[in-house]
Structure 1
Amino acid sequence: MRVPIVSDHRPAGGVAVAARSLIEWLERVPLALPELVLRLGVALAFWRSGLTKLPFGNPTTLTLFSEEYRVPILPPELAAYLATSLELTCPILLVLGVLTRPAAAALLAQTLVIQTFVYPENYPDHLLWAGPLLYLLLRGPGRWSIDAFIRHRAIGRA
């Protein structure tokens, strides 16, 4: 009686090899690329929102903050100026990759205020903003940033 030979050897080729090759190729992409995309994407979302609030002090924006947004503690005028300022300055910092962690922290705090007090039902959108902001806060902007350049120049490779 002949016993069939069973081998763990898999044929060279096929879907498994193609998948492995694709994964290896993707893993060679520098992390700086997705980090840049995270910075650009979240910056664009806040920048566009900030532009809708211009010019500073316009009646439409003040009405939104006093009648719809109703952020507790802050007067509507102050909340409007603060939100608009954050939405127009922090995205620039994120795009350039300068003061990235403080900018991400400020926008993450604003996102949490919006989620908690203004539009709690919009948590899917807020998660889309909070994810990149949390990554940038915890890991920084990546190598393609002014922050990384300054850090490299100041303390060497770290």
Structure 2
Amino acid sequence: MTGILSPFVRLYVAVFGVVERLAGDWFLGLVARLVFASVLLLYFWKSALTKIGAGYAGFLEPTAGVYAQILPQVTEQAGYDISQIAFFPYGLIVLLGTWAEFALPALIVVGLFTRVASLGMIGFLAVMTYVDITGHHVDPGTIGGFFDNAPGSQIADQRVMWTFPLLYLVVRGPGAVSLDGLFAKRLRHD
């Protein structure tokens, strides 16, 4: 039996060996960042834009709606009057969360501090999921579950798919076609 399969196994190993060598250390990191950019960059930036105030200093003044999004129970307890919510820790959480929603996706797409930014984005997704489930009380159908034969659930299924390219970037990095790759190359030559 081994004799019959040996030519096919050798062909398989040879073909995919070439694919692996061509992909090198640049392809999958670049693709993971492009997938992230095409699916999530504008999603998070549009979300972040709804959270900042008007004018040039708007990034320092989150809107009232952001408090209800990020801290729904705290905001409800304050009667939706954000002036009644303490800056530390709640206002700081809202401010940093809003900035992270702009900065982390941008860093990932350009490939700068990619591993840390990707890890931060995974944490962001975890917190977002926790707030959706406990603070906004989404229904079980929206939450879904792993291996539930319902691939359209917006929380379990969608967010695990969002997390995979980020996890790849944490473990393997952004690849040579990135600012991290460029800086690493320059450091090796200095």
Same-fold status (TM-score > 0.5): yes
SS of residue matched to 1:88: helix
Q: Distance in 2 between matches of 1:111 and 1:74?
A: 20
Runs of 4+ in structure 1 deviating by more than 6 angstroms, as ranges, are none
The gaps in structure 1 that reach 5 residues or longer are: 1-7
Report the count of equivalent residues. Answer: 146
1:111 corresponds to which residue? Answer: 125
Structure number with bigger Rg: 1
1:5 corresponds to which residue? Answer: none
Check if 1:66 corresponds to 2:80.
no
Of 39, 43, 49 in structure 1, the residue corresponding to residue 44 of structure 2 is: 49
2:169 corresponds to which residue? Answer: 136
Check if 1:145 corresponds to 2:150.
no
Of 31, 35, 51 in structure 1, the residue corresponding to residue 29 of structure 2 is: 35
1:81 corresponds to which residue? Answer: 95
The gaps in structure 2 that reach 5 residues or longer are: 53-61, 76-87, 135-142, 144-154
Letter in 1 for 2:167: L
User: What is the root-mean-square deviation of aligned Cα atoms in Å?
Assistant: 3.5
Q: Call closer, same or farther: CA 1:35–1:116 in 2, change over 3 Å.
A: same
Q: Distance in 2 between matches of 1:34 and 1:23?
A: 15
Q: Give me the identity figure in percent.
A: 24
Cα offset, 1:92, TM superposition:
1.5
Q: Distance in 2 between matches of 1:25 and 1:89?
A: 37
Cα offset, 1:46, TM superposition:
4.5
